[in-house]
Structure 1
């Protein structure tokens, strides 16, 4: 990514400085024109302050921060990098784009293939709704083949997933647009209104993800929302990735679940007002531990019982594929509340 791209992302984050701080620096609080927090890694305290207002660039720009204790300083891209433990700047930039729901560079106007998405205003909730409407049910498609290859074979209650055979993919602003098949997932709010969409581009035979640098991308209004499987009431399970969430759902098909699409978005999840028990589907990923801890703490502060579901391997899809359904049932039975074992696993 060029320096100009980084500068533009920092400016756009600065325009939403308070929202960025509430999302990634949740241990802090607002004090006048600043956000106060312990440090750039979101520890409690008052040593670090972030400007919430100011010019777009320069010394007093919104989003600029300093830590009086360590002398560290930077911008909101540094905040994203440190709070999520990201090493590669591409990952930092992708997370910033996800947070801002920025559109990927729009393809130049060309002849529009049938069923394509080139004419959409990429990044807007309306564009995401139109893309999802153009997709088809996954039964009998490459999307189903792809999920079956991940040992996800029970797909009841997955109306949030569809298949698009000719979904646009553009590697970067300087590359031509490609047309590839994709698994398309609707992102919705608590009321069920679609606010965004997630795409997983697939290999031509459905045997895996497409051989591209970023086979997964989201667009639209994502913050606080998710890809939902079932309507949440008193009990809900929440995780990051779609396949990670669909894996325990193979043995808990009646338990409402959702995929927040990233650790940061999982931390910002909005809770249904009736929720009293939240299962957090964990990945063994140190970069996401802070975000999940933040979600658990926020749930507890609202009187919601929060229980972590921990896989044996890297994530629950790894467990499902390596050890099978029976092992997954045994592992989950030991972690669920007894009431939910009777209701969702044995009922």
Structure 2
């Protein structure tokens, strides 16, 4: 049985070696080649086609996904499948991002004549500046590392980490160069929690029409309770004869009324409602409405239009269901 301290030490060694590899990567990001690669991709009117075999392929998949989600159209194409028909995805306006630590991946080199014939520029990402792939490339991004974290020097470890970070450096530099915003990011992530927070507006979440709890200010507390129970939001908007919002009555208000032993049948809702209630408009983000509820320590909101008429209502449970929380 190997001692726990020894296992931890081996783990720390890996982190130290890979940290050193990333420190070594600065010189390659600071090079003219990195800026040239960014400019080449920025000028691309097609797609970035990412290729890589084995571990480089797994890293390439992640790089292509990061590029695509940050404003740079990209696809991963498996080199082994490409020579059997997948090269059909290539168009004359594309850029090739070819990844291989050795720079000698046979499956990628086999495709070079076709890529050259199509006139597509190649950005090679390798650990060998004098490799065949590097020589075929218009731009070479070096990811050479002092050593692999694998003590046998066989399993790609430091080199794959350096490749991944180089890909992130490319993607983020391009993101900033394009002026890519949170709204842009949300449009490519509509199914994620971040996308929901950045895309969903109050109008997408609120209860409206027949679902909106709303009563006239002259009715009794008992009648207002019927509306609250029917609509199931734990509150109701209170309006005047012109339909303008004058207050809100909530479950919390009801508890205070009961504690005060108020006659629910004979007391009008305007006498016990909360005036000057917190409201929002329907065109703000649901996440902003959630922030208002958190800051005011309330569980629900009335949504009003410019004329101060209630047009919707929402509570904390609606936020949960919508995935905003």
TM-score by length of 1: 0.23
Larger Rg: 2
Which structure carries more strand by proportion?
1
Which structure carries more helix by proportion?
2
Larger relative contact order (Cα-Cα within 8 Å, sequence gap ≥ 6): 2
